[in-house]
Amino acid sequence: MRKCSLDSLNAVFAKIAEAAELYLPVNCTDGSAAFSKWEEGKEWSNNLNTVKSPKEFFFPQTEDLVAFKTSGKNIEIIDTRKEREDFVVFGVRACDVKAFEVLDNVFLLKEPYDSYYTNRREHGVIISVACNRPADTCFCKTFGIDPADPQGDISVWKTADSLYWQANTERGAALLEKIADLTEDCDTAAVDAEKEKITKIMSKLPLANLTTEGWGAGKTQELFDSPIWAEMSEACLGCGTCTFVCPTCQCYDIKDFNTGKGVVRFRCWDSCMYSDFTKMSAGQPRLSQKERFRQRFMHKLVYYPENNNGLFSCVGCGRCVAKCPISMNIAKVMKKIGGKENE
Amino acid sequence: MQVNGYKPLIVAFCCNWCSYAGADLAGNNRLSYPADVKIIRVPCSCRVNPMFILRAFQRGADGVIICGCHPGDCHYTSGNYYTRRRMAMLFSMLDYLGIERERTRVEWVSAAEGAKFAATMNDFAEKVAALGENKRLEDLRCKQ
Amino acid sequence: MQAITREQLINKAVALLADGTVKYVLGWKKGEFDYDITPAVFETAEELNADFVWNDFCGANFSKYLVAKTRKLDGKILVFLKPCDTYSFNQLLTEHRFDRDKVYAVGIPCNGMADIAKVKEVCGDGISSIATEGDALAVTTIYDDEPVKVAVESVLAERCLNCKSKKHVAYDELMGEDGDTLDSNRFDEVAKLEAMTPDERFAFWQNELSRCIRCNACRDVCPACTCEKCVFDNPTSGVENKAPANSFEEKMFHIIRAFHVAGRCTDCGECSRVCPQNIPLHLLNRKFIKDINEFYGEYQAGAEVGSRAPLVNYTTEDLEPGEVFDRRDTNA
């Protein structure tokens, strides 16, 4: 384990940025945080988390896939892919790191791999940070995630005056090597104390006792026709806030954009909350907001675990809980529709 | 029309009854106006949805001008009065967003005003050319 | 603190349910915390007693829900309306968006609603409970032993700080005292932007709009946006898009969104309330309102039922689009 003082953080960032593009949470003008490319003068945000999740680094909101140009009767197909340069993402929370695993299961499960996703995934180094101050909306523990022990290529703990670094992968170790001059060896006493503190706080959170009881693989028959879906979706506006701030939502649409001179084929995030989600020539499979609303939660808590050895595709980051315009969220759904144990 | 070597692309929405005929008259009278003015004929100036204007900019226009019958002379009685309000609001909003106000204009041109049509287009093209390329409402995908 | 209590509202709702005046009650339902409140339909006294809330976080405007609910439900609906909600209510009636006979509107006074983001700025994250104590909120967090007292006034939502009216413009019955329309400073922020140079304005909006994630929450919550099929969802419109591919599409969406409600927007402020990225969308809507007031005379959408919105109206003396800037520059 290595350590550096918080005062020297800027120098550490500068050193990392020499080797690869460095991204970290930075405060926006409105006080919220967003990942931004580090440059001299940019400071690491104190916010617990960013509004938009770091899934964007591997699965951006829009990306061009291929382009077409026509001349006469010929169509030229242009490969717009470019090799991603190495980059480092600093300050990823434990929940968001887990979310990468959820995305990997979708994009990298079997061949053919998603080459766009793979390209970014291979070039990114993740530096996670333990959560000193979890928020009321946090419930990562429900999904077995420990915010005191975040994963990723490197894990980092912050104390009042220092930052503690621990490499978890070869890539992480190689990066730590690069900043060896700025860090020193240390024991794990301070980190152990920090972990204990975080664990204690976690038990005090309002959603600390939320469980996945009643949810998971094989529950489709039992939950699909629950009359409670209608009640819970009653106020849903059908906006895409929950899906777009979610670190694990991975649905996308592929569309063509006519540039006037050719066509750019791109993909962009889609939301199961939208009326034209998975629209086919035969029409929409989910006609009412109730069905769309149900799809989102059933996907995260039943269908996904069914296909991925019981892994839930919610990581309890709390973004949707904080941001839903009508404050309807997965925690309420889990309690109301799931097992009686939650009541 | 060039200013500092820049040739702008202008989109002119012309109403079928007055301004389009005015453009025709300018042509018949062999009055010259920039060839970079692309005319789109619309049944009435009030057919021009704000979206049309934004889309023109997206596709590479540097300036957009809407021409219709003089107020009071609308073929449909009141269409251009609505245009007048809508465009006043839209142009004010574009300016509010920091987009150059000289890139948009409304001009009333009757079927008899071929000379006014040519003069308007010359003047507008010159003003837009002086601003240079439209950078603030551009879509880079359309410029590749 | 609100002038009317939760109990008074529940009693009113229960009485109206009991005497058959209404069959349903549209109200605020309590959530996991004390601030995450969801609009809901209540049908019985038991449901109301268990889950109905009325506190400083009941910001949601119910007017738009009436469009869907009056079509779906087969009985009269009781709706509680704050003064600003009544303007949206009237505007929707003007546009014939719901059947007035199916609604029983009860006006309730409002002292302004708190913005949870502002509360968190003061108290930090980790709120375990919020209680109302007079004009203050007692906020308990998991990090502090003692609750932190925050004056409601200091954490009011932007739209409430610039409240335009405490007067109800529509109701079947009014609870408590009616207020007056207010001389608010709601256009100050717009005027400040107008006074900037175009470059500054461009930079300002570029920064704000670049955060947009196109979740459409601003549109979906807006009581003026009630199209059955939005142009941005319509694959045949040519502008349908699900995500802003670049800064052009960000601007196009927000200009068109604001334009489509220009003259009909009552300035209820829901768009800014729900924006997950805190984009000051009300500044776009207020720009149109301010322009309408200056160019075509004072107009408040929703102040009365049946008035003709300024953009579907005209006079032969209207100013020319080219004169817009002359007028403003001489005013400035």
Q: Stretch A175-183: mean pLDDT, rounded?
A: 94
CA distance A314 to A121: 20
CB A138 within 8 A of CB A320: no
B144 touches chain A (CB under 8 A): yes
Could you tell me which of B31, B53, B27, B14 has the C-alpha nearest to residue B122? B31
DSSP A277: T
Domain B10-135 has CATH 3.30.420: no
CA distance B18 to B44: 9
Nearest chain C residue to A276 by CA distance is C233
Helix (H, G, I), strand (E, B) or coil at C90: helix
CB C248 within 8 A of CB A259: no
CA distance A263 to B12: 25
**Alpha-carbon distance C28 to nearest alpha carbon in chain A (angstroms):** 10
Could you tell me which of C269, C254, C242, C265 has the C-alpha nearest to residue C205? C254
Nearest chain A residue to B142 by CA distance is A259
Q: Give residue limits of the domains in chain B.
A: 10-135
CA distance A162 to A190: 10
C-alpha distance from residue C243 to each of A6, C203, C219, C282 (Å) = 38, 21, 14, 21
Would you place residue C29 in the very low, low, confident or very high pLDDT band (cuts 50, 70, 90)?
A: very high
Chains that touch C (3 or more CB pairs under 8 A): A, B
The identity of residue B36, as a single letter, is D
Size of interface B-C (CB pairs under 8 A): 114
Size of interface A-C (CB pairs under 8 A): 132
Helix (H, G, I), strand (E, B) or coil at A201: helix
Query: Which long-range contacts does A273-278 make (Cβ < 8 Å, 24+ apart)?
Result: A273/A236, A273/A238, A273/A239, A273/A240, A273/A242, A273/A243, A274/A238, A274/A240, A274/C216, A274/C233, A274/C242, A275/A238, A275/C233, A276/C233, A276/C235, A277/A251
The residues facing A34 across adjacent strands are A26
In the predicted model, what is the mean pLDDT of chain A? 94
Would you place residue C329 in the very low, low, confident or very high pLDDT band (cuts 50, 70, 90)?
A: low
Q: Is A240 in Cβ contact with C216 (below 8 Å)?
A: yes
DSSP H/E element including A254: strand A252-258
The beta-strand segments (E) located in chain C are 24-29, 38-42, 77-81, 103-107, 127-133, 136-141, 148-151, 173-174
CB A179 within 8 A of CB A125: no
CA distance C41 to C27: 6
Residues in A touching C145 (Cβ below 8 Å): none
pLDDT of A301 above 90:
yes
pLDDT of A166 above 50:
yes
Tens-place pLDDT, residues C123-160: 988 999 999 998 999 999 999 889 999 999 999 999 99
Residues in A touching C268 (Cβ below 8 Å): none
Chains that touch B (3 or more CB pairs under 8 A): A, C
The residues facing A166 across adjacent strands are A155
Nearest chain C residue to B134 by CA distance is C248
Tens-place pLDDT, residues B68-127: 999 999 999 999 999 999 999 999 999 999 999 999 999 999 999 999 999 999 999 999
Q: Is A264 in Cβ contact with B141 (below 8 Å)?
A: yes
**Alpha-carbon distance C245 to nearest alpha carbon in chain B (angstroms):** 9
Number of Cβ atoms within 10 Å of the Cβ of C131: 12
Could you tell me which of C42, C58, C94 has the C-alpha nearest to residue C226? C94
Could you tell me which of B130, B35, B29, B47 has the C-alpha nearest to residue B86? B47
Would you place residue C209 in the very low, low, confident or very high pLDDT band (cuts 50, 70, 90)?
A: very high
User: Which among C36, C215, C277 has CB closest to A327?
Assistant: C36
CB C115 within 8 A of CB C60: no
**Alpha-carbon distance A27 to nearest alpha carbon in chain B (angstroms):** 24
The beta-strand segments (E) located in A259-314 are 262-269
Cβ-Cβ contacts under 8 Å for C189 (sequence gap 6 or more): C280, C283, C286
CA distance A79 to A117: 16
Select the residue from A63, A261, A263 to test the B interface by mutation, using most B Cβ atoms within 10 A: A261
Are β-strands B37-42 and A262-269 bridged in parallel, bridged antiparallel, or unpaired? unpaired
pLDDT of A342 above 70:
no
Report which listed range, A339-343, B4-8, C169-173, is most confident. C169-173
B141 touches chain A (CB under 8 A): yes
Would you place residue C332 in the very low, low, confident or very high pLDDT band (cuts 50, 70, 90)?
A: very low
Tens-place pLDDT, residues A85-129: 999 999 999 999 999 999 999 999 888 999 999 999 999 999 999
Could you tell me which of A230, A332, A152 has the C-alpha nearest to residue C33? A332
Q: Specify the pTM.
A: 0.94
Number of Cβ atoms within 10 Å of the Cβ of C230: 18
Select the residue from A233, A241, A243, A266 to test the C interface by mutation, using most C Cβ atoms within 10 A: A241
C314 touches chain B (CB under 8 A): yes
Q: Stretch A281-305: mean pLDDT, rounded?
A: 94
Tokens at B74, concatenated: 């609308």
CA distance A198 to A157: 11
